[in-house]
Structure 1
Amino acid sequence: MRWHFSPETGSPFWLDRVRDLDFDPLTDIRTFADLTRFPNYAGELRDVRAEDLIPRGYGERPDVVGVYESGGTTGAPKRIVLLRDWLDRLVEWSSAQLDAHGVPQGVNWLSVVPSGPHMVGDIIKRQTAHRGGLTFGVDLDPRWVKKLIARGDTAGAGAYAEHILDQVRYVLRSQDIGVLMCTPPVLERIAADAELAELVNEKVRAINWVGTQMDADSRYLYRTEVFPDTVLYSGYGSTMILGNAGERPGLGHDDPCVYDPYSPYMTLSVVDPETRRPVAYGERGQVVMHHVSRSLLMPNNLERDHATRIRPPHGAEQTGDSVADIAPVREFDNETVIEGVY
């Protein structure tokens, strides 16, 4: 709190808003639960100057990796700034998560995810390099697909998906790919294509799925029949917390897909959307995300997802909740939620 609310080190974004708070962050924010006292300022990230999000403590030439946007699922995109020190920390943590699942190091990745203004593509490039491989990319444009779906153009959305598969095919035919990263809708189409499924089984040792969710039956089928010799691993993330929660290692085929966050920097709560109070463990509610690090303070952000509240791993020093069975709300910020390919 001292870093983010001191004139010498805080960002213009927070130094401007501290005047509107009915509490003093320097004296009144002492615990994880106290973060709920902050208003949800995430909506203001649609219009704020990106420069105003950078803490002054980084100096005149901060090491900015990039300015990234949310998917725009619920209206105009929100923007966030990714700084080098946080990226380095995130990559180290994410790499350890991959090791825990048996995802091989020293192999190339085929990353079929959004790039451009979206953060995930750049993070995967840096993570792959950190683990000793090359990244081959196929860009997804989630906003375009969502527009096609919203206006009922199923043929156009299908044609776009085939365009993606064509590019995946070119890479898998010609390159050594050890890890495939894609969304469940793309993976479903790959599995239904005989040549692509064969190429994945021949070359790929791990599939990292992200974005939209996968039902338990599909997850079981991929693991046991479609890609039986391949590690299947997933993440649940958001641009607004500058990262993702990782799938808990050691889950059985019948277990729900549980996600544990990078605590204490990225933390989750599952709450009743009306009262904003935590639901009981095992009950469903809406996800609230918090990010607290030197590079960013973004607390109390009500996300567009419902989830089941899960206890943290036994013996883990984790702040906040773990989550399972992620599903989007029907409407968010007065906009209909369309997932599309991501």
Structure 2
Amino acid sequence: MSAVDNPMNEQVAQKATEARDQLNEHTLKTVHWHFSDDTGSPFWLEKKRELNFDPLTEIKSFDDLKKFPLFEDDWLRGGPIRRWVPQGHAGKPVYVFETGGTTGVPKSRMVIEDHWKDYELFSDTLPEKYFPKGANWLMLGPSGPRRLRLAVEHLAQHREGICFCIDLDPRWVVKLIKKGWMEHLEEYKKHCIDQAITILTAGHDVKCMFGTPKLIESLGEALEERGTSLAEVGITGIFSGGTEFTPQWTRFCVEELLGGPPEESGVYMTPTYGNTLMGLACSKPITAADGYKISYYAPQPRAATEVVSFDDYNQVVPFGATGRVKLYTLTDEFFVPGFMERDEGEREAPFDLYPWDGVSGVRPFHELAGATTVGVY
């Protein structure tokens, strides 16, 4: 992730160097927190005994995290959940958020305030014109034991609004797809969209919303059938996320569903890439001139992503090259020293707003793609 192999202008290169210094400093602080006896979690303190090095003396920079073994999915399956709670946070209320779980035991992550902090940082990136303070929100996405629902609700409250949520179980959606019950799937999707339309047409002054690409499309089509549109029911700002976000879908959404770019339609949409481990990566502003290309940048230094070689997960690929997405989570609540995502993409260069590596063209990792059921995402 060095600045030298990329033809950035001098100003961005300088910012990238400063961001790297900040990441190194933050990494050191995070490792000391998680591996010190008085602040670390039972999980990492126990894991320290298995390592062939001492994190407290041998981790001096972000690159040194490669000394750790890759973080394993299965560590998050099953309990006790309290083994993940850092002793430095003992006594604080703990949330547990789940991901996966269509078959077998879901992955669980403990959280105290990370979801609030992540979405407050994201809030700072939203243009006030389209996401006005005090506006109410619609959360058109998964409910239940998922971080997203509470995080979007906090985002609305942080921006002085009220969040209206629908009831949606993505595990049921995935089961319907796997069973081939497409008629039931359509009815369930309609059930979710009906809930959203009821909220949007009930005089609640909802101007902002979260939705997955598939659900935004279904909502737009359902409103069209009723002779109206997202803009006409009052929506001005949409935040969305999921691997279904492609340049082709974005073009369709902007040109057909929303009625043109924000300056014409009055509706602004921003894609994001996130998960229960990392939080939320923001997108570089999307333009028709750039072919609706979507590039995501992790919320450094709290999380970082690398695009690494398919043959060597410790080797970052050159800018523009394709590789698998590797994730690092570096907060005082949760520590992930290298987790291989189920996604691949192209490595993007730092730029002025986010002077660190990004990833574009995010899609399911080709070796796993056949086994991935996307569902509502």
Fold-level similarity (TM above 0.5): yes
Q: Does residue 5 in structure 1 map to residue 35 in structure 2? A: yes
- CA drift of 1:316 comes to 4.5
316 and 217 in structure 1: CA distance in 2 versus 1, 3 angstrom threshold: closer
SS of 1:124's partner is helix
SS in 2 for 1:240: coil
1:74 touches 1:337 (CA, 8 Å); kept in 2?
no
Distance 1:258 1:102, change over 3 A: farther
User: Which residue pairs with 1:156 in the alignment?
Assistant: 184
Q: Higher mean Cα deviation, 119-128 or 167-176?
A: 167-176
Residue by residue over 1:165-195, the C-alpha shift from the partner in whole angstroms, topping out at 9 and shown as x without a partner, is: 1111111111221012111111221232214
- 1:296 maps to which residue? 334
SS at match of 2:70: coil
Give the Cα–Cα distance (whole angstroms) in 2 for the partners of residues 197 and 341 of structure 1: 25
Offset of 1:72 from its aligned partner? Answer: 3.3
Q: Is the 8 A contact 1:286 1:307 kept in 2?
A: yes
Q: Does 1:278 align with 2:320?
A: no
User: Which of 140, 148, 169 lines up with 1:112 in the alignment?
Assistant: 140
Render the CA deviation track for 1:33-89: whole Å, top value 9, x for unaligned.
222222223421112311111110113x1242x1001133685321111112x3443
Number of aligned pairs? 335
Aligned amino acid, residue 334 of structure 2 = L
What is the CA–CA distance in structure 2 between the aligned matches of 1:258 and 1:101, rounded to whole Å?
A: 23
Identity within the alignment, %:
32
Which residue identity lines up with residue 325 of structure 1 in the other structure?
A: G
Question: Which consecutive residues of structure 1, in runs of 5 or more, have no partner in the other structure?
Answer: none
Query: Does 2:78 correspond to 1:40?
Result: no
Distance 1:192 1:156 in 2: 19
Correspondent of 2:238 among 203, 207, 210: 207
User: What do residues 15-43 of structure 1 show as CA deviations (whole Å, max 9, x unaligned)?
Assistant: 11111112211122122222222222342
Structure 2: distance between partners of 1:308 and 1:262: 18
Structure 2: gaps of 5 or more residues: 1-30
Residues 100 and 284 (structure 1), Cα distance of their counterparts in 2 relative to 1, 3 Å cut: farther
**TM-score, length basis structure 2:** 0.83
Instruction: Please show how residues 162-181 of structure 1 align to structure 2 within 5 Å.
Output: 162-174=190-202, 175-181=204-210
Deviates more, 1:203-212 or 1:39-48: 39-48
> What's the CA shift string for 1:123-158, capped at 9, x where partnerless?
111110010111010132111111111222222211
Say what the alpha-carbon RMSD is for the aligned residues. 2.2
Q: Distance in 1 between matches of 2:227 and 2:133?
A: 22
1:341 maps onto 2:376 in alignment: yes
* C-alpha contact 2:135 2:160 (8 A) present in aligned 1: yes
Separation in structure 1 between the aligned mates of residue 40 and residue 111 of structure 2, nearest angstrom: 16
In 2: Cα distance, 1:117 partner to 1:42 partner: 21
2:154 & 2:212 partners in 1: Cα distance? 19
CA distance in 2, matches of 1:102, 1:90: 20
Q: Which of the residues 19, 44, 52 maps onto 1:14?
A: 44
**What CA distance in whole angstroms lies between the structure 2 residues aligned with 1:207 and 1:88?**
19
Rounded to whole Å, the distance in 2 between the matches of 1:93 and 1:20 is: 36
Residue 190 in 1 paired to residue 244 in 2? no
How big is the shift at 1:8? 0.8
Distance 1:144 1:331, change over 3 A: farther
8 A Cα contact 2:322 2:345, kept in partner: yes
Is the partner of 2:47 in helix, strand or coil? helix
TM-score w.r.t. the length of structure 1 is 0.91
